Structure 1
Amino acid sequence: MKNLLFTVFTVAALFSACTNDADVKTFVNANGYTIYNDSLISFQKMIIEDGKVRQVGGEELSEMGEVIDVQGKTILPGLIDAHAHVMGLGFQELNINVAGIETLEATLDSIKAYAEANPELEWIQGRGWNQTLWPENEFPTAADLDKVVPDRPVWLTRVDGHAGWGNTKAMEMANISQDTPDPQGGKVIRDRTGKATGVFIDAAESYVTQHIPAPTAEERRLALEKALEKMASEGITSVHDAGIPAQTWELYKKFADEGNMITRIYAMIGGTGNDFDELSKNGPIKSYANDRLALRSVKISADGALGSRGAAMKEPYSDDPGNRGLLFYEQDELNEMVDKSVSNGYQTNIHAIGDRANDVVLNAFEQAIDEFGDQGLRHRIEHAQIVSLEDIPRFKELDLIASMQATHATSDMNMAEDRVGSERIKGGYAWQKFLDQGTVIANGSDFPVEHVNPFFGLYSSVTRQDHEGNPPNGWYPEERLSREETLRSFTLDAAFAAHQEDVLGSLEPGKWADFIIIDRDFFEVPAIEIWQTKVLETWVAGDKVYGNSD
């Protein structure tokens, strides 16, 4: 017995009779689901033509062109990750990945093994460490790294991307001394004597990263290739890339021009500085290469992350009195950046995690809308992680999209309430509060901060539990999403957040035939199985870009 009532959707032929064209495919014996007219519907057959959906419906649809028997497997619209970092994923595939390792000792063992296996590397680089997983729950030090790699510089980015950890060699190359100041929006972690320990928060990371050789053109090409392959294998047909430079946009265009862009990318220009000036000369690019690319938005960051206590809070951290986090820009500065983006016709998407950062961002959007009008740009707050209860209604008043990442809640639940306390957490990861007031939620992962697998996010949305099913009823279960709300947030509403709901996000006649075939029924399996879902095939514009049917 299904846990939801579905409408079996039958569409009469919307086009003239079809010939046996090789570009026509009919999928039969499908267990398909999609959102249509704000309802979840099920279907057994789907016809695609020239890369787009022609008909979706029941058994009575005539079979045309190539007939593909799905053998009862489940079809879903292609999943859209509304906030991620494509090149970050690619370089994570190239460098060492220490994400999820639960002790400092095991992390160091992995770094040592990687360094020994790659003696030709000038720098040892990687990502993923998370001290909140370790028993000591303390930042690591340069001395720790020196034990395993003393002779070459090492630089490892924290899992959230908002802190870096270097060894003594790296700090020597960066000329770090006791006199090195904390930059605006950053912090050098120091010991009791004032000496830098090896961890650098947010803007302070640049002290070290500016000395790391830039990737070669071949390394960048390989990183993008690996990222696209990885996304396709996980069922992601479209991704919103949260902040890119001009150089990366040129690489994306090259891949698209060569027919190698197997995942659609809705790119955000990184900030309103030189890259924006260069990339905005001809205005927003709404579609490039048949919707394979778009460049009509800007990404700005207002604060750091909760795990490193860099998220900007109105009051001090509950577990670190005196520390309110890091606000990257004062109100006037942020207002000017938003004005520049909005006045040029760009959707503006701002990273805000702490309640103070969210308040400052809301103020910036309010003044921009007052000055320039709504313009239908669909501005977004990225993460909207800890929001004061009195500020949540302002998202609706300003018609903002909440771009949130479900796995952040289940990754952070081991420390979030320690950071902000029992009252402020009521406005944290507050998905249903946003939905109940009519705010659109665009879901994503923030990979490589979180795992690229979108079914981890679908599972977190539905359960608010870890992969062992804890806590038993979910963490703050009143904020859970239904399975229908979850699917919508990863498909149609994510497409809406990119101005693409007319061409992506659901399997409807006239839209691109982006879909996945999976090994179990998302709406029928026990909730604990959702994260275990395997993608068998991924299709973009009617072409199979990944297949694992065996």
Structure 2
Amino acid sequence: MGRLWYNGYIYTMEQEGSVTEAVYTEDGWIIATGTKEAIQTEYHPSEEINLEGASMYPGFTDSHLHMIGLGETMLSLDLSDCSSAYEMKRALQERAQSLEPDQWLVGEGWNENNFSDRKIFHRTELDEIAPNNPVLLTRICRHASLVNSAALKKADITKETIDPDGGIIVRDYEGEATGYLLDQAADLVKSIQPPVSDELLRAALHTAVSSMLQQGLTGGHTEDLNYYGSFHRTFRTFQDVINEHQLKFRTNLLVHHEVLHDMQEYGYEFGRITDYLSFGAVKIFADGAIGGRTALLRSPYNDAPETSGVAIQSKAGLKKIVNKARTANMPVAVHVIGDLALEFAIEALEEYPPPEGEKDRLIHAQVTPPDLVDRLKNLAVTFDLQPRFVLSDFPWVEERLGQERLRHAFAWKTLLHAGLDCAGSSDAPIEPVNPLQGIHAAISRKSPMDDSHNGYLPEQKLTRFEAVSLYTTGSAAAVGKADELGTIAPGYRADFTILEEDIFQIPVDAIADVSVRGTVIEGEFQYDGSTT
């Protein structure tokens, strides 16, 4: 029995301006589009959904985030809203008072660039805040962490501890650890934390998926499988939470290269597992982030000439991992932020092309000079972009990169005009998971509340169609599903995002605050805003 969807602004995203009056769905698929009268005459739908003037789009998909990490942040101490070191200190003190002795104080999302003094807490200050508890505070970029003396002691990090590959233990003039750990160095502490319970993992994932559905997302491409004790345990969490009997949500699981062998040992292969779960590309970190000066640059940081960042993988090491993925007949998804990291990745992909018909993914790609863009045109790649990074990273990123490099940074329009495929994402919990905030940022490149300028690097602004395409056709193409997701047309999945207002017509700065009327997967409401 089928459903007729009508009386709204239905954008098919087949091409700019393409709309249809009505859609007919049956058994989770789009059967027909056209006029309401023609569909009623031919198909005799058993149910009619009156959109009441709302706008409907193909289901929005976030092409890169950490879903369990998002849920953890929602359930733990969130420091992302702290606008000063004082606020952060107060939040930590309040949490510390509620903990038992030796219980870990864990916080997420601090960002010293939001503080007027750019303060980074020293371990001794954290000792005073939480004298009876180990402390682990993860920076918003997830490429730096703060710990106190108790955490350093538990991890056996001393003056003699050597920096791990791909990480830095920041030290004072006497060689003692300050408590500031960059990239892989933070894993020395994370590895000795008490294990998260199965119940908490399920609660975190369920919380994340529920939130994503409420914000109009029908799917997400997530990287979680290497962080919660074992591949099998984490994958089982996804199997438990996301299935047609409990919660529908199209989830593509990136496979961190360190658990690729585990995936194979359990008999799994790249591709679809169920209609809602699939294994995606092999995830590799090539470098860190600009905020913590660990993104790998061709030349030193403008505001810290003593460093050019951190290579989490050497050039040779990166090639070795890419080749390992190819032996498993899988594409790769490489985290690259700096231009040198991007150059390393390009060399590896040139030497080891993806399997026939597949595309590799380059995640973030924040510094893309013209010579590398020219080489990228010859590769089968998709870019996972995070438009909200523009709002979070400017204007301080200018200090890091300097004006010359900034001309080729956050250059989404340049990539699209070069004919390169791009998908839209949040990297949540680093940025808000709300896709409308991402769409607004891609169009305006400024805060909705900021009328003081025309947007950061305004020449890189996307059109509304380009911005919405990132989260529809772009995200579908990134996982090789452009023939069944991302478009409202016969033969495609009946996944829809329904909004109270038409984001192609309202003022740009109103887009980020539009309410979600409903989120539909396989023709069924997974979130119905009209009932809340």
Distance 1:517 1:406 in 2: 22
The answer to whether 1:457 aligns with 2:434 is no
Superposition deviation, residue 513 in structure 1: 1.0
Superposition deviation, residue 119 in structure 1: 4.2
The answer to whether 1:287 aligns with 2:265 is no
Matches within 5 A, 1:388-467: 388-467=369-448
Distance 2:6 2:474 in 1: 27
Structure 2 residue aligned with 1:253: 239
Distance 1:137 1:504 in 2: 43
Distance 1:128 1:470 in 2: 27
> Structure 1-normalised TM-score?
0.91
Structure 1 residue aligned with 2:454: 473
Matches within 5 A, 1:220-299: 220-245=201-226, 246=231, 247-257=233-243, 259-271=245-257, 273=258, 275-281=259-265, 282=267, 284-290=269-275, 292-299=276-283
Structure 1 residue aligned with 2:28: 51
Matches within 5 A, 1:149-160: 149-160=130-141
Q: 1:106 aligns with which of 87, 94, 99?
A: 87
Q: 1:90 aligns with which of 67, 71, 92?
A: 71
For these two proteins, the number of residue pairs brought into alignment is: 521
Q: 1:328 aligns with which of 312, 323, 331?
A: 312
Distance 2:126 2:448 in 1: 31
Amino acid at match of 2:466: E
Superposition deviation, residue 470 in structure 1: 5.0
SS of corresponding position for 1:360: helix
Alpha-carbon spacing, 1:203–1:377, altered in 2? closer, same or farther (3 Å): same
Alpha-carbon spacing, 1:383–1:178, altered in 2? closer, same or farther (3 Å): same
Distance 1:441 1:475 in 2: 20
Alpha-carbon spacing, 1:538–1:121, altered in 2? closer, same or farther (3 Å): farther
Distance 1:361 1:476 in 2: 26
Amino acid at match of 1:60: E
Distance 1:407 1:25 in 2: 36
Structure 2 residue aligned with 1:311: 295
Distance 2:213 2:98 in 1: 29
Alpha-carbon spacing, 1:164–1:401, altered in 2? closer, same or farther (3 Å): same
Superposition deviation, residue 410 in structure 1: 1.7
User: Alpha-carbon deviations, 1:268-308, whole Å to 9, x = none?
Assistant: 1011x3x2012135463422222x01113111000000100
Structure 2 residue aligned with 1:27: 5
Superposition deviation, residue 258 in structure 1: 6.3
Matches within 5 A, 1:101-180: 101-119=82-100, 122-180=103-161
SS of corresponding position for 1:111: helix
Matches within 5 A, 1:359-370: 359-369=343-353
Contact 1:77 1:506 in 2 (8 A): yes
User: Alpha-carbon deviations, 1:114-157, whole Å to 9, x = none?
Assistant: 33345488211121000111111132222332332211111111
Amino acid at match of 1:111: L
Distance 1:413 1:443 in 2: 19
Structure 2 residue aligned with 1:546: 527
SS of corresponding position for 1:200: strand
Amino acid at match of 1:225: H
Amino acid at match of 1:31: Y
Structure 2 residue aligned with 1:4: none
The answer to whether 1:79 aligns with 2:57 is no
Contact 1:283 1:345 in 2 (8 A): no
User: Alpha-carbon deviations, 1:451-502, whole Å to 9, x = none?
Assistant: 1111110011000012323552111111111000111111111100001111
Distance 1:60 1:491 in 2: 28
Structure 2 residue aligned with 1:301: 285
309-318 vs 39-48, which moves further = 39-48
Distance 2:375 2:188 in 1: 37
Distance 2:239 2:496 in 1: 23
- After TM superposition, the runs of 4+ consecutive aligned structure 1 residues lying more than 4 A away are 118-121
SS of corresponding position for 1:44: strand
User: Alpha-carbon deviations, 1:4-61, whole Å to 9, x = none?
Assistant: xxxxxxxxxxxxxxxxx3xx2212211111212x444122322211111122223433
Amino acid at match of 2:348: A
Superposition deviation, residue 105 in structure 1: 0.8
Q: 2:38 aligns with which of 53, 61, 68?
A: 61
SS of corresponding position for 2:374: helix
Contact 1:455 1:530 in 2 (8 A): yes
Structure 2 residue aligned with 1:536: 517
Alpha-carbon spacing, 1:345–1:374, altered in 2? closer, same or farther (3 Å): closer
Distance 2:212 2:29 in 1: 21
The answer to whether 1:206 aligns with 2:194 is no
User: Percent identity of the aligned residues?
Assistant: 29
Superposition deviation, residue 263 in structure 1: 1.6
376-385 vs 58-67, which moves further = 58-67
Distance 2:75 2:102 in 1: 12
The answer to whether 1:193 aligns with 2:177 is no
Distance 2:173 2:345 in 1: 35
Structure 2 residue aligned with 1:7: none
Amino acid at match of 2:322: V
> Structure 2-normalised TM-score?
0.94
The answer to whether 1:382 aligns with 2:367 is no
Structure 2 residue aligned with 1:520: 501
Amino acid at match of 1:250: R
SS of corresponding position for 2:282: strand
Contact 1:54 1:510 in 2 (8 A): yes
Distance 2:291 2:452 in 1: 20
Distance 1:34 1:141 in 2: 53
Amino acid at match of 1:425: L
Superposition deviation, residue 183 in structure 1: 1.6
Structure 2 residue aligned with 1:3: none
Alpha-carbon spacing, 1:150–1:120, altered in 2? closer, same or farther (3 Å): closer
Structure 2 residue aligned with 1:491: 472
Distance 2:490 2:237 in 1: 32
Gaps of 5+ in 1: 1-20
User: Alpha-carbon deviations, 1:63-120, whole Å to 9, x = none?
Assistant: 4211121110111211110010011011112211111311011012112223334548
211-220 vs 469-478, which moves further = 469-478
Distance 1:462 1:120 in 2: 49
